[in-house]
Structure 1
Amino acid sequence: MRILKKILLVIIAIVLLLLVVALFIPRTYTVTVTETIHEPSDIVFNYVKLIKNQENYSVWVMQDPNIKMEYIGTDGTEGFIARWNSQEDGVGEGEQQITKVTADRIEVDLRFKRPFESSQKAATFVQPLPGNRTLITTEFYGSDAYPMNLLSLLIGRKMIRDAQTKNLENLKKILEK
């Protein structure tokens, strides 16, 4: 019985310690990934500003061959909405809406419905480099309530960074063909 009490006390102490640590972890964060693509910036940007093209390079979309996509509006313009619904927990259900498009930047609002409800923001922008090359940058702007900010630090941000990295690798392969 004493061993059970000690084990229980250790578990409670660990949980309390993690909750205290979470108090000091920022609740907002940005995950940034870049890649250089050997194509002019206008070609790269004109491809990525079309949300439908994500079907060709997004690891989340490609994770489920049975994903149901719905598009509302004119792709590549402010107000365009792409909705997805997947039975895969890693993909879930949600939508993204283009909120701003400039000559070199596209911003979207992400609204997740399942497996969890959340609203986040993301942006993709390009910068021309010498030699008809382009530096493409993706940014995910996250915000997590306490104590979920601890899980985000330990798991979520790495998962997002890994997915963004793979997305840009896939995009590079497509555009450099």
Structure 2
Amino acid sequence: MPPRKRAHPAERRAEILAAALDLFAERGYRGTSLAAVADRIGLTQQGVLHYFPSKDALLTEVLRRRDEIDEQTFAGAAREDALATMERLVAYNATRPGLVQSFTVLSADSVTEDHPAKEFFVERYRRMREMATVPAAGLTAEQTAALLIAVMDGLQLQWLLDPSVDMVEIFHGFAALLRNNQNP
């Protein structure tokens, strides 16, 4: 095999993130090794560790990249109709169970002390609550946002455990319920 052309560090990081994103989506976090990420792009495991100090750090960056992709995919829509945007996001997530599984596991793990992804999730949920504010009868917009996120994450967990749970249809029904109960 000819020697690999040396890439710019930012390009190499992007290449590693893209490979890890694909592998985590295909195999989940636990089913993906750093060696598999390295093999996917023709690097050694040490080469990956040069850019990301650990598998946890790589996953945190993959999740951050996943959020960037989601934000680009749904750019502008969130400000127009938070409920419709979240409905589209739930449907989109149904097409990538490996990433949903990685997200679910890592978000739950992040509540432990000194977890490397804790700050990522604290900030992510804060941003999500700001984006998902929807007025509903009897609740503040902030309370509704927290409830929407809890329903979305809870449905994802149930869907991962039992794929017969139709998270897309159930979330759609929940969104319709909120629309019918919005404050005037």
State the TM-score bracket (shorter-chain normalisation): under 0.3
Higher helix share: 2
**TM-score computed with the length of structure 2 as normaliser:** 0.24
| Higher RCO (C-alpha 8 Å, min separation 6) | 1
Higher strand share: 1
Max Rg structure: 1
